């Protein structure tokens, strides 16, 4: 009689997916050795009075560029040149030719010509350019080819004059111009403020991200695009404001002019010996205006407005075009008839503002010059609360021209008054009929309130060590900062001279803060800002183990920072012996964790790993009261508990199909017998993870067996392989997951499976074979 093994089994199935790295792609260059990276001239050729040499100094891309010397001017500019032949321009396609060029001194011309390589040498998109002493990229794009051009060539004519110059990164490719990928490595990027930004503070500090190889930077700054674009060290045009600076910021010595557009450029300068200058692109931004239009206005009147011509038409922009010119459509305006009281139109803002000006577009229908519905004389009043009013004075509003190109023709000086309400009481109009109207009214204010908080209002996950900042009110001399956890009970936390404040915040808290801008010399001495909020992070990270890599030479492997038994002579080992040294699969967050093995069986009978910080650490600040370390150890493969239970960690791919892989505990069985177990719990590593009892003929992967098991998603199931090496079969019972009782009985060569919810009442599942 064969001896069978009774096995208590657990299986876990794990699947892995991998993604390869992604890369940015340049266009396909149709020119072999277009960047001269082969270190030789071929397959390029030169003709005429020209010498050419591939060199490794002063390059703009890669390791090499081409150095050319034209000995003398030709009778024609095409008498000397550089050529790349054996091409075909295909019908229906367009092509772009681009190259970086610079000359030794002065200015030198060069002609780009994709052409038919034979008489009459027809060109496609041919154009001449003027190179200077700084690297510049020029490009042309051909028209769509009406027919194949064969043979074709790329020719660069350089016979204009005796000259010395360099070329690099010559590209010829299908389609329109595409910037070369390498430019981000050599040029300044990420301008701050961003290109095209508006409403930029007048005291802004310009900054940028340096090119990878830049040693110093030349900064050009001014109000003329042409000057900033064309200027150089040899011809600064009054806009080279900083040369050879090491830092990546520029602070103008003077405040910027209100509402002015500025242009700036940063050239990156390589280190000696070549000191190559890489000309940057021109960026722009517009400085803040002196005054801003008030938004969120409510317009009301005590008069009876015509249908569709209510007071809201004076503040909703109806009738205005992009040039702020008003239409002659009556439906875009306000028109009203007075009652018993003097007629007024009133404007309510969302808060008290420091008012600068009021612009007025009067009533502007086609026949206004005959009708005279426009308002003429008004009394202007203002109020902070809508109850107590102060007269600003009497003003006469200019009559509208009754034209669709009507721009505001009355500007009222509001004298910087603090007001939330403005009322215009009509004293007279331009006609005899008792009807009065306006087209549009715009209020401008000086920004006296604090704004643009950093962190932004409502930000969560803020570091408790953060410094608060904001955009200060225009005329603030000092700033009072109020702070607290109750928005209705803020306390003064400090008074500062600049628009920054470093509070004492604690982890896991929500704070409210408010800034009051103060100027005792102003008519209104204090301007209170909105109440802003932020929530601090629950904790701060000490080490997430994400920054370590496998670079032993750089000393950035995980065991170079966390020292183990190799250094401290304890039983610990940090990291793996072979790369990757960090754990990449078993992670709680991020992409890696720190492996830590220990062996306390020998002297000194303990294991430790430690890290020494470069600066002193204080982890008790900001209300911190806990230090948390997440650990995961290897579960024991098998443990028998005092009450007769078994804890087993699963491993393997599956018990199914033609072969099995699993972890088990076993006893030998001779003759008939039965095995009963209660599966108390099962970790759901897969819907078909399995734990139960098995009777197996051998320990070969394809052995005959019978297996009664519990699964997390499919209840109980009776699996078996009646023939060694053949497919498995199953009878699925279903039902609830663990805890569940299962039993497997052998009588001769017949195996019977049962399951039970309580270990008392049993249900026969199946018999095999």
pLDDT tens-place string over residues 434-483: 999 999 999 999 999 999 999 999 999 999 999 999 999 999 999 999 99
405 secondary structure, DSSP code:
T
In a domain, 510, yes or no: yes
- What does the radius of gyration of the chain's CA atoms come to, in whole angstroms? 41
Question: CA 54 to CA 51: how far, in whole Å?
Answer: 11
Cβ-contact 638, 665 below 8 angstroms: yes
CA distances from 593 to 145, 552, 554 (A): 58, 18, 20
Do 420 and 350 lie in one domain? The reply is: yes
Ordered alpha helix ranges (H), 412-570 = 558-561, 565-568
- Put simply, whether the predicted model's pTM sits higher than 0.75 gets the answer no
Do 299 and 437 lie in one domain? The reply is: yes
- Residue 86 is inside which H or E element, if any? strand 81-89
Question: CA 511 to CA 487: how far, in whole Å?
Answer: 8
CA distances from 495 to 499, 518, 702 (A): 10, 10, 80
Question: CA 538 to CA 193: how far, in whole Å?
Answer: 32
Checking 14-23 for CB contacts under 8 A at 24+ apart, the result is 14/685, 14/686, 16/585
Residues in the chain: 769
Exposure string for 366-401, b = 16+ CB within 10 A, e = fewer: eebeebbbbbbebbbbbbbeeeeeeebeebebebbe
Do 144 and 207 lie in one domain? The reply is: no
Instruction: Among 228, 255, 287, identify where a domain stops.
Output: 287
In a domain, 602, yes or no: no
123 secondary structure, DSSP code:
B
Burial of 668 (0-12, 13-18, 19+ CB in 10 A): exposed
In a domain, 332, yes or no: yes
Cβ-contact 448, 474 below 8 angstroms: yes
Total of domains in the chain: 5
Contacts of 603 (CB under 8 A, 6+ apart): none
Question: CA 399 to CA 410: how far, in whole Å?
Answer: 9
In a domain, 744, yes or no: yes
Instruction: Among 490, 513, 536, identify where a domain stops.
Output: 536
Residue with tokens 């080992």: 573
In a domain, 593, yes or no: no
Do 259 and 297 lie in one domain? The reply is: no
Do 311 and 282 lie in one domain? The reply is: no
CA distances from 325 to 317, 332, 365, 411, 747 (A): 10, 12, 13, 15, 101
Ordered alpha helix ranges (H), 207-251 = 225-230
Burial of 335 (0-12, 13-18, 19+ CB in 10 A): buried
Question: The CATH number of the domain where 262 resides is what?
Answer: 2.60.40.10
Do 426 and 306 lie in one domain? The reply is: yes
For position 685, what pLDDT does the model report? 83
Residue with tokens 């000696």: 272
For position 608, what pLDDT does the model report? 95
Do 320 and 283 lie in one domain? The reply is: no
In a domain, 662, yes or no: yes
Question: CA 152 to CA 129: how far, in whole Å?
Answer: 22
Do 60 and 121 lie in one domain? The reply is: yes
In a domain, 652, yes or no: yes
In a domain, 78, yes or no: yes
DSSP-assigned states of every residue in 88-118:
EEPTT--EEEEEEEEESSS-EEEEEEEEESS
Instruction: Among 241, 264, 287, identify where a domain stops.
Output: 287
Do 348 and 484 lie in one domain? The reply is: no
Do 505 and 459 lie in one domain? The reply is: yes
Cβ-contact 311, 300 below 8 angstroms: yes
* Torsion angle defined by CA atoms of residues 634, 635, 636 and 641, in that order, rounded to the nearest 10 degrees: 160
Q: Quick one: tokens of 464? A: 């408790």
Do 81 and 119 lie in one domain? The reply is: yes
Residues in the chain predicted with pLDDT less than 50, given as ranges, are 1-25
Cβ-contact 346, 297 below 8 angstroms: no
In degrees and rounded to multiples of 5, residue 7 shows phi and psi of -120, 135
HSE of 58 in the Cβ direction (CA atoms, 13 Å)?
A: 17
Do 431 and 298 lie in one domain? The reply is: yes
Range of the domain at 129: 45-174
Question: The CATH number of the domain where 315 resides is what?
Answer: 2.60.120.260
Q: Quick one: tokens of 245? A: 């600076």
């Amino acid at each position: 009689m064969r001896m069978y093994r009774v096995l208590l089994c657990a299986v876990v199935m794990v699947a892995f997916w991998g993604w390869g790295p992604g890369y940015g792609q340049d266009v396909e260059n149709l020119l072999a050795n277009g960047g001269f990276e082969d270190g030789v001239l071929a397959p390029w050729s030169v003709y005429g009075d020209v010498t050419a040499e591939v060199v490794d100094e002063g390059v703009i891309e890669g390791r090499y560029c081409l150095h050319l010397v034209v000995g003398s001017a030709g009778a024609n500019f095409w008498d000397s040149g550089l050529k790349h032949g054996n091409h075909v321009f295909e019908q229906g396609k367009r092509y772009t030719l681009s190259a970086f060029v610079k000359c030794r001194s002065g200015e030198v011309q060069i002609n780009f010509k994709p052409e038919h390589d034979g008489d009459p040498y027809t060109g496609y998109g041919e154009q001449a350019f003027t190179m200077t002493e700084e690297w510049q990229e020029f490009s042309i794009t051909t028209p769509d080819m009406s027919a194949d051009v064969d043979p074709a060539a790329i020719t660069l004519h350089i016979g204009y004059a005796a000259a010395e110059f360099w070329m690099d990164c010559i590209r010829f490719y299908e389609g329109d111009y595409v910037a070369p990928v390498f430019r981000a490595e050599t040029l300044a990027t990420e301008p701050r403020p961003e290109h095209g930004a508006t409403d930029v503070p007048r005291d802004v500090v310009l900054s940028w991200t340096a090119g990878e190889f830049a040693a110093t930077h030349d900064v050009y700054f001014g109000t003329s695009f042409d000057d900033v674009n064309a200027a150089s060290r040899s011809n600064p045009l009054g806009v080279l404001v900083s040369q050879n600076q090491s830092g990546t910021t520029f602070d103008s010595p003077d405040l910027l002019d209100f509402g002015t557009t500025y242009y700036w450029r940063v050239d990156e300068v390589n280190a000696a010996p070549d000191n190559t200058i890489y000309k940057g692109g021109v960026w722009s931004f517009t400085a803040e205006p002196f005054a801003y239009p008030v938004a969120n206005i409510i317009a009301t009147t005590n008069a009876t407005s015509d249908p569709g011509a209510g007071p809201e038409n004076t503040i909703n922009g109806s009738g205005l075009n992009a040039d702020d010119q008003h239409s002659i459509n009556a439906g875009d305006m306000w028109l009203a008839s007075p009652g018993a009281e003097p007629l007024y139109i009133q404007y309510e803002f969302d808060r008290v503002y420091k008012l600068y000006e009021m612009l007025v577009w009067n009533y502007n229908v086609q026949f206004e010059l005959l009708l005279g519905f426009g308002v003429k004389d008004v009394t202007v009043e203002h109020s902070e609360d809508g109850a107590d009013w102060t007269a600003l004075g009497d003003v006469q509003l200019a009559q509208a021209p009754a034209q669709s190109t009507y721009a505001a023709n009355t500007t009222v000086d509001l004298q910087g008054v603090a007001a939330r309400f403005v009322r215009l009481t009509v004293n007279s109009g331009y006609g005899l009929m008792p009807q009065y109207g306006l087209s549009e009214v715009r209020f401008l204010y000086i920004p006296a309130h604090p704004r643009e908080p950093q962190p932004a209002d409502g930000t969560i996950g803020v570091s408790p060590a953060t410094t608060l900042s904001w955009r200060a009110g225009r005329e603030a001399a000092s700033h009072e900062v109020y702070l607290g956890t109750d928005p209705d009970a803020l306390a003064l936390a400090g008074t500062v001279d600049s628009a920054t404040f470093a509070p004492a915040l604690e982890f896991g808290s929500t704070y409210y803060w408010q800034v009051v801008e103060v100027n005792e010399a102003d008519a209104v001495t204090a301007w209170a800002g909105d109440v802003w909020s932020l929530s601090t992070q629950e904790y701060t990270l000490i080490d997430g183990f994400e920054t370590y890599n496998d670079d032993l030479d750089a000393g950035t492997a995980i065991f170079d920072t966390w020292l183990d038994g190799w250094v401290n002579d304890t039983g610990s080992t940090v990291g793996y012996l072979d790369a990757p040294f960090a754990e990449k699969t078993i992670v709680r967050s991020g992409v890696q964790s720190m492996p830590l093995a220990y062996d306390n069986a020998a002297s000194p009978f303990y294991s430790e790993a430690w890290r020494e910080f470069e600066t002193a650490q204080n982890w008790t600040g900001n209300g911190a009261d806990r230090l948390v370390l997440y650990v995961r150890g290897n579960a024991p493969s098998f443990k028998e508990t005092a009450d007769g239970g078994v804890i087993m960690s699963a491993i393997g791919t599956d018990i199914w199909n033609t072969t099995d892989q699993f972890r088990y505990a076993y006893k030998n069985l001779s003759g008939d017998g039965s095995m009963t177990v209660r599966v108390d719990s099962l970790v759901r590593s897969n819907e078909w993870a399995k734990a139960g009892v098995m009777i197996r003929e051998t320990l070969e992967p394809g052995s005959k067996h019978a297996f009664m098991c519990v699964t997390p998603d499919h209840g109980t199931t009776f699996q078996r392989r009646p023939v060694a090496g053949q497919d498995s079969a199953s009878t699925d019972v279903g039902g609830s997951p663990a805890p569940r009782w299962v039993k497997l009985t052998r009588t001769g060569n017949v195996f019977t499976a049962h399951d039970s919810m309580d270990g008392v009442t049993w249900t026969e599942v199946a018999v095999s074979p």
